[in-house]
Structure 1
């Protein structure tokens, strides 16, 4: 059985984790157990997300944990992870045993700080791309992409982009046709009411229009301090 772990921590961005969770669990049910997906915690049994959602996560990630695929979401809590060498070392050890190492949004910043993106192509939330360059100067940071694969490392852009990445991963783990059925079952046919939201956001610099985005204005020193 192909095992998947979604790694949670306080102040993670809800959809970063819940979007892929829905995809992977739908695939688990539809495949008759060819894959399994669970959530694991970097802290206590109750994890509180950025917008207040609380998740009961009885299982904790340890250096001895072993999964075929790990997924690290992003969110404001990424800042604390970047500054925690114990967490970074544990992620390195767990990632070394995984077939696929993946992230959503600013989760890639944590991997970058851990040295896991050195020399690789990668991406993140559009507001985090400059920081990604600072944290991993040898990486090729890709703009305007929903997700980027380099070897066994797959990083996605922000929030909803994790759904796209998760569907692609299901296609790799099982088959593209199976992933297409999962996509159909969750009725994932993006048609934003205000046009192509990804590029509209880039064009009009939405985060400069009153919506808070903690990473957009942070320097590397402030993130790690």
Structure 2
């Protein structure tokens, strides 16, 4: 299965590369793709540079991952064409994973209308303005609502990735990966 990680300038490094590491522990099941709307070099908030392929929505299969980051909200206001490309990619994917405030990206596309997402730290006024008609579940680690998986933080994203592996392959594989990483998997989820 393809794990398509969509990057944009100032993404949170662990939101993307931590998830890639978890899926990468099972290369017999998952192949990692790093994509961006423009293709080319993308820098994380922490200065990590990643070479990306061009995001072509029609070619997205299986899993789409949107990491959080400071510029997630800028994408909404300043880059409407990029937002449409990401929306189309999310529609093509079988599963769409949103780490922390990355759910704000899809919130603006209308894809999360009347869905439930995990609440994340951030400006409450901004969230009220941009997540109207989306139910934010407070105090949860991660949530699955149909094909949309969201989580409250970077570390909750690790738990969510293991949950996706459990859903797509089997729970034994997810448990084995957590053990190999020395990670204590929190399996808390709300449907």
TM-score for both structures, normalised by structure 1? 0.77
Deviation at residue 100 of structure 1 after TM alignment: 0.5
Q: Which runs of 5+ in 1 are unaligned?
A: 191-225
Tell me whether 1:11 sits opposite 2:10 in the alignment: yes
Aligned partners of 1:122, 1:128: CA distance in 2, in Å? 16
For the 8 Å contact 2:34–2:51, the answer to whether it is kept is: no
Say yes or no: does 1:62 pair with 2:56.
yes
Structure 1's consecutive aligned runs of 4 or more residues displaced over 4 angstroms after TM superposition are none
Q: Distance in 2 between matches of 1:167 and 1:111?
A: 22
Q: Deviations over 1:104-150 (max 9, x none)?
A: 01110011111111000102422256533421211110111111111
Query: What is the aligned length?
Result: 184
Rg larger in structure: 1
- TM-score, normalised to structure 2's length? 0.89
Q: Look up the match of 2:74.
A: 80
Question: 1:64-213, aligned counterparts within 5 Å?
Answer: 64-83=58-77, 84-128=79-123, 131-189=126-184
Higher strand content, 1 or 2? 2
Alignment RMSD (CA, Å): 1.6
Q: Deviations over 1:9-52 (max 9, x none)?
A: 10001111111111011122xxxx22222211223411111121
Structure 2: give runs of 5+ residues left out of the alignment: 186-191
